[in-house]
């Protein structure tokens, strides 16, 4: 394989730099597309496989379960064994699992394949950003990350439209088959044009927290299984046993992380008050988003009567608003501080979800659906960029990547739990989505619950986040700032390595800590090469 330029010295304007950026965008775009297109296909999946609501929940949660549990570990594997190598493995794994999803003969195979797909996502998602941070020249990294986030945002924005078009045309299986040709382009280009990098002392300094990753995944799986099974199984042993097991495994997970020298999720970082507070806000916000987007596509198709394409297109305003305005929102947050955006944003989102209660049989898109989605999108624009900035500002620059990775994983876990719990809380039975009347009534109960969670998030923000946390005292180093400029993902905040500046000085070297590196930034030269 030809590697004409050394890692850490590739310029964005060079031919190789453009290939590296295209590779990272294509890899992360696969995962972003998947996070938005699958929801649109859920009603057709249920109809084709004769599946109840629990299967539709597992189609979403199985993927999020493995992705959220293993995303930090995926970053550590890249540091140790090579970022390009792990990224390519993730791309190929993701594509193979996608192919299995598309070929699934029944619900059981589909759910298992979705869990496997999440493992691939946990390898390629942090890897796409790690490639950029490790191989580009320090003067070009910020622009490369900005281009990566912007182009990835476009992929997230068009996802619902593409998903709906495929479902109505070729069929829901092509939502998964789409990933195969993308991977067939991405993997060879990565092997040909992206130099290999790894962290120089990763093998000596750091092990893998496999026990933590496994315990975290099993704890989430136990609680998720109980929540999804409860509407059909009541309070029987099939619900109580996994629920208790999940809680006990969660306690054991915390115990193991406290005792390990190299934990995947360092408990000490939660001793930082602001970091813990902002992650609590994140959990509230993305729990509501996860429940909303899972139920809203079903509401639009089952109750309002939209086709998959119409439902996917109907959701575009939220992501388009984020794509157009997220950069300005980040700038506004820097000027006025994050407290107001993190308070007003969730309240706007809550208002949008309450407006969605007007969406039922015979609803008009322009008078009922669109106003709700515009208000929701305005709220998401208001809060997401300041949320990321506050997470990064809460820690030292050498832990920025780790903090961002934890925040991303927390959001995905919150969304996972919401998709599992909301149907139970709203009284949505296993067969409710087959009846427009039953599902519509349950949707009316679910939206105020989502809005209530967002109000709790707003209260947490106003009580715990200071206005000046993004500013530095005179003569002091400025807090770590976000590098991702554009973001459209509705399932989690962006992964962001953070950028540190000093007043009157250049950007600090090595300011790109990545998920899974134990809080250590990569070396300016991108680590050893192979």
CB 313 within 8 A of CB 439: no
pLDDT at 294: 94
CB 205 within 8 A of CB 38: no
Among 21-30, 110-119, 151-160, 300-309, the least confident range: 151-160
- CA distances from residue 199 to 133, 518, 522, 525 in whole angstroms, order as listed: 12, 11, 6, 10
Predicted TM-score (pTM) above 0.85: yes
In the chain, what are the helix, strand and coil shares in percent, each to the nearest 5?
75, 0, 25
Specify burial of residue 122 (Cβ count, 10 A radius: 0-12, 13-18, 19+).
buried
The pair of three-digit structure tokens given for residue 257, joined into one six-digit string? 């992380």
Phi, psi angles (nearest 5°) of residue 528: -65, 155
Nearest Cα neighbor of 497 from 509, 481, 486, 508 is 481
The DSSP bridge partners found for residue 136 are 10
pLDDT at 304: 95
* Average pLDDT estimate for 212-225: 93
DSSP H or E stretch at residue 423: helix 400-425
Could you tell me which residue, 262 or 525, shows the higher pLDDT? 262
How many separate helices (H) and strands (E) can be counted in the chain?
Answer: 17, 2
Predicted confidence (pLDDT) per residue in 33-45, tens digit? 887 789 999 999 9
pLDDT at 5: 55
DSSP 300: I
Q: Which residues contact 367 (CB under 8 A, 6 or more apart)?
A: none
The pair of three-digit structure tokens given for residue 506, joined into one six-digit string? 């250049």
pLDDT band at 475 (very low <50, low <70, confident <90, very high): very low
For residues 133-164, b (16+ Cβ closer than 10 Å) or e, as one string?
bbbbbbebbbebbebbbbbbbbbbbbbbbbbb
Predicted confidence (pLDDT) per residue in 276-300, tens digit? 999 999 999 999 999 999 999 999 9
Predicted confidence (pLDDT) per residue in 490-519, tens digit? 788 888 877 754 333 333 333 334 444 333
pLDDT at 130: 86
H helices of 50-135, in order, are 53-81, 83-103, 107-135
The DSSP bridge partners found for residue 528 are 198
The pair of three-digit structure tokens given for residue 310, joined into one six-digit string? 């119409």
pLDDT at 330: 83
Q: Which residues contact 182 (CB under 8 A, 6 or more apart)?
A: 26, 29, 30, 95
pLDDT at 477: 62
In whole angstroms, what separates CA 320 from the centre of its chain? Answer: 17
pLDDT at 485: 73
Predicted confidence (pLDDT) per residue in 74-98, tens digit? 888 888 888 999 999 999 999 999 9
Instruction: Give the separation between CA 445 and CA 464, rounded to whole angstroms.
Output: 30
Computed over every residue of the chain, the mean pLDDT equals 86
* Average pLDDT estimate for 195-219: 78
Q: Phi-psi category of 516—alpha, beta or left, where left has phi over 0 and alpha has psi -120 to 50?
A: left
pLDDT tops 50 at residue 471 = yes
pLDDT tops 80 at residue 202 = no
pLDDT band at 12 (very low <50, low <70, confident <90, very high): confident
* Average pLDDT estimate for 337-351: 95
pLDDT band at 302 (very low <50, low <70, confident <90, very high): very high
Predicted confidence (pLDDT) per residue in 374-410, tens digit? 999 999 999 988 998 899 888 887 788 889 899 999 9
pLDDT tops 90 at residue 453 = yes
Could you tell me which residue, 351 or 127, shows the higher pLDDT? 351
CA torsion sign for 146, 283, 227, 441 is negative
């Amino acid at each position: 394989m030809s590697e004409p330029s050394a890692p850490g010295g590739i310029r964005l304007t060079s031919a190789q730099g453009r290939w590296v950026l295209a590779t990272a965008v294509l890899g992360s775009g696969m995962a972003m597309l998947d996070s938005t297109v699958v929801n649109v296909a859920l009603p057709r999946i249920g109809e084709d496989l004769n599946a109840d609501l629990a299967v539709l929940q597992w189609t979403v949660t199985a993927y999020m379960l493995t992705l959220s549990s293993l995303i930090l570990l995926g970053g550590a594997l890249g540091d140790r064994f090579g970022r390009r190598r792990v990224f390519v493995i993730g791309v190929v794994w993701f594509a193979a699992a996608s192919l299995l999803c598309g070929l699934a003969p029944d619900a059981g195979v589909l759910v298992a394949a979705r869990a496997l797909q999440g493992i691939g996502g946990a390898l390629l998602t942090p890897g796409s950003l790690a490639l950029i941070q490790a191989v580009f020249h320090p003067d070009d990294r910020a622009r490369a990350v900005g281009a990566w986030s912007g182009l990835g945002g476009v992929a997230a924005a068009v996802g619902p439209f593409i998903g709906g078009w495929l479902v109505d045309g070729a069929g829901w299986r092509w939502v998964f088959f789409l990933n195969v040709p993308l991977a067939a382009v991405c993997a060879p280009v990565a092997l040909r044009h992206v130099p290999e990098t790894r962290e120089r002392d990763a093998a000596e300094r750091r092990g893998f927290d496999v026990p933590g990753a496994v315990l975290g995944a099993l704890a989430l799986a136990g609680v998720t299984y109980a929540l999804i099974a409860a509407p059909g199984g009541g309070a029987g042993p099939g619900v109580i046993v996994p629920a208790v097991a999940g809680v006990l495994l969660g306690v054991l997970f915390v115990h193991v992380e406290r005792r390990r020298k190299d934990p995947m999720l360092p408990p000490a970082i939660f001793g930082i008050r602001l970091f813990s507070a902002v992650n609590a806000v994140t959990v509230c916000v993305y729990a509501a988003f996860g429940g909303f987007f899972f139920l809203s596509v079903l509401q639009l198709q089952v109750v309002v009567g939209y086709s998959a394409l119409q439902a996917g297109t109907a959701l575009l305003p939220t992501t388009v608003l984020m794509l157009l305005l997220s950069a300005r929102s980040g700038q506004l947050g820097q000027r006025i501080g994050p407290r107001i955006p993190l308070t007003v944003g969730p309240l706007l989102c809550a208002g949008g979800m309450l407006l969605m209660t007007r969406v039922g049989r015979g609803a008009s898109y322009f008078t009922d659906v669109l106003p709700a989605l515009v208000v929701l999108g305005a709220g998401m624009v208001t809060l997401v960029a300041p949320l990321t900035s506050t997470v990064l500002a809460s820690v030292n620059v050498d832990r920025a990547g780790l903090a961002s990775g934890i925040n991303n994983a927390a959001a995905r876990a919150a969304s996972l739990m919401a998709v599992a719990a909301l149907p139970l809380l709203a009284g949505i039975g296993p067969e409710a989505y087959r009846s427009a009347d039953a599902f519509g009534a349950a949707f009316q109960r679910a939206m105020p619950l989502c809005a209530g969670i967002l109000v709790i998030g707003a209260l947490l923000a106003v009580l715990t986040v200071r206005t000046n946390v993004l500013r530095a005292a005179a003569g002091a180093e400025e807090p770590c700032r976000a590098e991702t400029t554009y973001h459209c993902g509705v399932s989690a905040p962006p992964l962001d390595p953070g950028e540190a500046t000093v007043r009157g000085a250049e950007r600090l070297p090595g300011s790109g800590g990545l998920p899974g590196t134990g809080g250590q930034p990569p070396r300016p030269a991108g680590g050893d090469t192979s």
